Amino acid sequence: MNREEAFNLLKEYVKEDSLIKHSLAVETSMITYANHFNEDLDKWSITGLLHDIDFEMYPQEHPYKGLEILREKGIDEDIIYAIKGHGKKEEERESLLAKTLYAVDELSSFIVASALVRPTKFEGLKAKSVKKKLKTKSFAAAVDRDQIKESSEDLNMDLTEHINILIEGLRNREEDLNKENLSLL
């Protein structure tokens, strides 16, 4: 499956704009890290795009229903392993792909939320201000701060560097998406 087919598959299962945007943000972060780690761009992109494919239709069975949907489509087992790994804290995440997905899932949308409340959005957004918002419990209160901290440690990334890498990736992607009438914001 290529990236375009994956995006079409996502749109079959996801109609909510907010979940499409989350999927695109996580995809962006996965592509950014595929570049950073010199990994397969398409594989990492598809992992990000499809990680929440079942969340709208089968929230109680997430992500396990998604694994079934993706297996039926013949998706690589290492993508399926990584997607399974993001579902619960207790899941196994031995591969770099799985560790990265887990480390960018919550944080990507947190950075997007941080950009949304600024007049200049991603432009000029610094890790320092994202970290300050992480300490503000009332901001994006649903985001699990411990998950962000633990998952970045498991990826062996310093949190400031991790956030900076993602900000840059998200900012660049937003410009490209705007040309296609799409947005992360």
Q: Which residues bind Fe ion (CB under 5 A)?
A: 52, 105
Measured at the CA of 39, the angle between CA 70 and CA 12, to 5 degrees, comes to 25
Q: Least distance in Å: CB of 65 to Fe ion?
A: 11
How does DSSP classify residue 59? G
> Given the complex with Fe ion, which of 105 and 174 has the nearer CB atom?
105
> Given the complex with Fe ion, which of 89 and 128 has the nearer CB atom?
89
Instruction: Report the run of H or E that residue 112 belongs to, with start and end.
Output: helix 96-116
Q: Least distance in Å: CB of 101 to Fe ion?
A: 9
The amino acid sitting at 31 is I
Return all residues near 118 (Cβ < 8 A) that are at least 6 apart. Answer: 124, 125
Q: Least distance in Å: CB of 128 to Fe ion?
A: 25
Among 177, 175, 168, 140, which residue's Cα sits nearest to residue 29? 168
> Given the complex with Fe ion, which of 25 and 132 has the nearer CB atom?
25
Q: Least distance in Å: CB of 119 to Fe ion?
A: 27
Give the other-Cβ count within 10 Å of 169's Cβ: 23
> Given the complex with Fe ion, which of 52 and 174 has the nearer CB atom?
52
